[in-house]
Chains A and B, each alone.
Chain A
Amino acid sequence: MKDFFSKLIIFIILLPLIPLMLWPFIASWRWPQLIPLFGEARGFKHFFSAGSNSVNILLFSVFLSIVVTIITLAIALPAAKAIAFYSFRGKNMIKTIILLPVIVPMVAVSMGIHVSFIYLGLANNCIGVILIHLIPGLPYAVRILLNSFLLIGDDIATQGKNLGANSLQVLWHITLPLIMPGVIAASTMVYIISFSQYFITFLIGGGRVVTFSMLMFPLIERGERVLASTYSVVFLASILLVVIVGDKAMKGFFSDSNFLV
């Protein structure tokens, strides 16, 4: 019974994706036809045409979001660990501040950030875009990793230290393998958030940094179904691919020290 319900839920979630998968290949689907008239898949033709540069922009976006994910994790890991295990003054305040980007709308803040970035020479280039992409993902990464740290506690790390491991060895051989599920969840989240950003990329990148969602947005806005669904399918497929490959790679990387799981 439980199995049936979970299958039903998956079906309901996937149902709206079926027309999305069909539309790239449809020429027209007029009432009262039940079966659509299939066409030449001009969306994919446009996507792969050398002029549209879509493939390069897609690869660049994937790369940009991976860089953003790595930097976000590099910030979130120590932050989450500090909040989980150390007690210090203003800890609760810092916890709240980290969550702020989720509460305050990005659009409101990014206008001000844009002005500051122009002063600092960070507007209209990719370093600025990477920096602004760190903001929306960071609260999620810290939250997820914080829970992972709280779940495993620091007993095992202390034990390792008592047995003579230095802090780097503890990090590499104990902490990271233990919180790997959390890291994978966090990086997936951060990657998807960064990959879907539209407005802030536009504002800070000023059109010099073009990401995949920037190509997609005008097509969806216009209601151009064949192209919009083609680009959406590519968008989803690329996310799935990166997430699956990333997951496998991270698991594989720590499999030799996977002594506890």
Chain B
Amino acid sequence: MKKLVMILLSLLLLTACNLKTVEEDHLPIEGGSVSFAERLEDAKGTQVRFYGWGGSDSINGWLDTTVSNELKENYKVELIRIPMNPDQYLAKLMTEKSMGSEGTIDVVWINGENFYNAKTKGLLYGPFVEMIPNFTSYVKPTKDVTYDFGFPVEGYSAPYGRAQLVFIGDTAKTPEFPRNHIELLEFAKANKGKITYPEVTDFTGSAFVRNIIYDVVGHEIFIGMEADKEIVREAIMPAIEFLKEIKPYLWREGKTYPANIGQLVNMFADGEVLMTMSYTPLHAASKIAQGIYPETAQTFLFDYGTIANTHFLAIPFNAPNKNGAMALINSLMSPEMQASKLNPAVWGDQPVVHYDLLSEEQRKLFDNIEIGVGVLSSEVLSAHSLPEMRSNLVPLIEEIWREELLGE
């Protein structure tokens, strides 16, 4: 009887695990002399594991269907998407690095502070970006793709898309939107308790604070600034004073802030606040199409500009399937996928491929996209785009904000 139970149990265990067993990993072909075609040949029939933030059903859905099918058809590679935030996969990679063990992650979605940490700690494979044909043919090596938050990329990550901070309001409620921080203060005074921004632990909240800093003290002074807390504090003090001044007019008198951008988006959708913000410039169009925002929702910017940055794809140092990883990255950088990603019904993410370098047919892919209502044209956006400050200044600013605004 006991034996039988044991056999049954081990059978159960085995079947449970068999459901998820993965075929033997393909050995990557290392070295520079290998052509990309050979790499793609080697990647055929493999699985590639893509780790990244998984909180959006539209982005998830796009990766799970469009990208997955494209990869299966053109590269014979199976895409497995794992929803995991950078802090989690970086912790995992750190442990693996210290133990010298085999990895499980083939591609990560990364930028900013996380990329800085990953690269300086040797968690990334590279340089590889010059091997990606769609990078060399369609991407212009401008500063926004060779630098990530002011930190040189040096071929350790490939651009995936562009983001720019935008603000969204409702013209039915407030026909005029603030065009700078002074008008924002007046706007908040006139609409007491109806304006707020996410806490700085949130990616977008942190960007908003940096944007206010730029608006108050300008962005040039941060170029080459030493990552010293007191120097940074002194530089941003006028902006911190401004945030203190606006605080009593904010939602719940600024005693508390929405924990993340999702909460602010919900509050705007419910009509609890008068403005929200997003890192995706076409955010409003997607939300209006889904019926979440009113049709009178409208995107706006500050005259001085808003922060724009690029998000990237990278390969971990111990990726088991580096060739498959490059196949995925090449596919995500293709004009077809970049165009399909720009569609606000899909994601609304700005492309990294350059229009001038595309063929007539490829340009049509972009021309045919309906960017929707309530958003700004890419000309207006790029005319108002400001560079990110260096990634090692960002955590200092977040700390200072917490000390000064929350009194921690």
Interface residues of A (CB under 8 A from B): 27-32, 37, 39, 42-43, 46, 49, 51-53, 60, 63-64, 67, 70-71, 74, 114-115, 118-119, 123-127, 130, 168, 172, 202-203, 206-210, 214-215, 217-219, 221-225, 227
Contact = CB atoms under 8 A, between A and B. Distances in A.
Given A30-B269, A67-B12, A206-B104, A218 B99 contact: no
Contacts of B271: 30-32
Contacts of A32: 271
Contacts of B60: 46, 52
Contacts of B142: none
A119 B61 CA distance: 36
Contacts of A63: 16, 19
Contacts of B357: none
Interface residues of B, number: 50
B17 A202 contact: no
Contacts of A118: 95-96, 99, 101
Interface of B: 1, 5, 9, 12-13, 16-17, 19-20, 22, 49, 51, 53-57, 60-61, 64-65, 68, 82-85, 88-89, 92, 95-96, 99, 101, 104-105, 260-263, 265-266, 269-272, 290-294
B16 A126 contact: yes
A74 B260 contact: no
Across the A-B interface, the 9 shortest Cβ-Cβ residue pairs: A223-B262, A51-B64, A222-B55, A207-B82, A126-B17, A218-B55, A51-B65, A27-B291, A218-B54
B369 to A, nearest CB: 21
Nearest to A68: B16
Contact of A203 (B19, B57, B92): B92
Given A49-B64, A71-B9, A115-B99, A207 B57 contact: no
Contacts of B101: 118, 123
A206 B93 CA distance: 10
Nearest to B50: A207
Contacts of B265: 223
B106 to A, nearest CB: 10
Contacts of A208: 20, 22, 49, 104
